[in-house]
């Protein structure tokens, strides 16, 4: 059994991350474009070639990305090296799938997000990707590598355990998503308190989305569903203050805009924001819809003010008392 010191050693004490700059934006934008293009290319090759050919091409791409990440690190370009390592980890997951498919180990029916039955082939991929991600984290010390690790942990828990339980599949997935999300959030809090805060960001984001999505899936879609969703969004804004993590404010703000847009559309028959800007009929027919979005925007601003004041008070701490 792993000791606390061994678990702590899985995550480095230092991290390489990019400060916000024009170059950093272009680095990340280019990485997103390349990630989409690589997955698109592999999907295209999957439809036009045999299993061995896809395995060969994915092997070539994986090797090229790993070599690039190593060379960039040796050249001192730590951010670009981390982004290349991130791409390598994603392609590594695809490579494992192509390998299993080539040897006939990968299941044929993979149309659904979660499997109806337990699949050892998926478990192997999940375990190896998480292990490779933790190893890459030690080498490149790049926080973005936590994202695929957290995503595969969430998926592995939700998919594998639900396949072993004979019950309502959707409800089981929702409950397991909440449990997995709470575990990720707990891991993020632990990293925050152990001096490894840069690595906890994606744990909080993936965990927060998993918990919120799971709770909403558990609720019945009746008239109260949207009201509860709004309260959950406000709870996420409050969590941003309690945990001092802006990711929860982003999730909560998007939730407030989503729920508020639903009620505005329902009450005033107005297209959702910003759809009415591109509406073929010329946009909203009354002033009530646009004015409601002004109010909704002000609500987001007020939440930001309250959050900022709360964080300032927390940073300032209690006032000193006289002896």
pLDDT tens string 40-72: 888 787 766 667 778 888 999 999 999 999 999
d(CA 131, CA 141): 15
319 vs 246: CA distance, rounded Å: 26
CA distance 213 to 7: 28
pTM greater than 0.95: no
Residue range 258-316, pLDDT digits in tens: 999 888 888 877 766 665 555 555 555 567 777 888 999 999 999 999 888 876 655 55
How far apart (Å, rounded) are the C-alpha atoms in residues 263 and 276? 15
Q: Sign of torsion, CA 136 45 71 30?
A: negative
CA 318 and chain centroid, separation: 35
Average pLDDT over the chain reads: 84
- Alpha helical stretches, state H, 1-115: 4-8, 22-48, 51-74, 78-102
| Cβ–Cβ < 8 Å for 199, 15 | yes
Over residues 214-234, the pLDDT tens digits come to 999 888 777 789 999 999 999
Which whole number is the average pLDDT over 91-113? 82
């Amino acid at each position: 059994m792993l000791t606390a010191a061994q678990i702590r050693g899985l995550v480095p004490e230092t991290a390489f991350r990019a400060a916000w700059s024009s170059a950093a934006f272009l680095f990340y934008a280019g990485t997103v474009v390349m990630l989409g293009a690589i997955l698109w290319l592999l999907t295209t090759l999957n439809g036009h070639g045999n299993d061995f050919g896809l395995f060969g091409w994915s092997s070539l791409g994986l090797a090229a990305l790993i070599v690039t990440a190593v060379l960039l690190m040796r050249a001192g370009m730590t951010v670009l090296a981390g982004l290349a390592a991130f791409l390598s980890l994603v392609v590594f997951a695809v490579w494992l799938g192509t390998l299993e498919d080539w040897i006939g180990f990968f299941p044929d029916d993979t149309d659904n997000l979660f499997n109806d039955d337990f699949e050892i082939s998926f478990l192997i991929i999940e375990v190896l990707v998480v292990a490779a991600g933790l190893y890459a984290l030690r080498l490149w010390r790049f926080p973005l590598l936590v994202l695929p690790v957290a995503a595969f942990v969430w998926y592995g828990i939700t998919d594998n355990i639900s396949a072993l339980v004979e019950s309502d599949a959707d409800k089981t997935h929702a409950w397991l998503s909440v449990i997995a999300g709470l575990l990720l959030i707990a891991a993020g809090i632990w990293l925050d308190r152990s001096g490894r805060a840069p690595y906890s960001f994606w744990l909080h984001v993936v965990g927060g989305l998993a918990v919120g999505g799971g709770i909403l899936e558990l609720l019945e879609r009746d008239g109260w569903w949207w009201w509860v969703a709004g309260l959950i969004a406000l709870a996420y804004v409050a969590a941003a203050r309690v945990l001092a993590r802006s990711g929860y404010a982003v999730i909560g703000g998007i939730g407030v805009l989503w729920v508020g847009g639903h009620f505005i559309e329902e009450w005033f028959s107005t297209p959702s924001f910003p759809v009415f800007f591109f509406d073929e009929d010329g946009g909203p027919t009354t002033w009530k819809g646009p004015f409601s979005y002004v109010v909704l925007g002000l609500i987001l601003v007020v939440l930001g003010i309250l959050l900022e004041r709360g964080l300032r008070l927390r940073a300032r701490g209690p006032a000193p008392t006289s002896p």
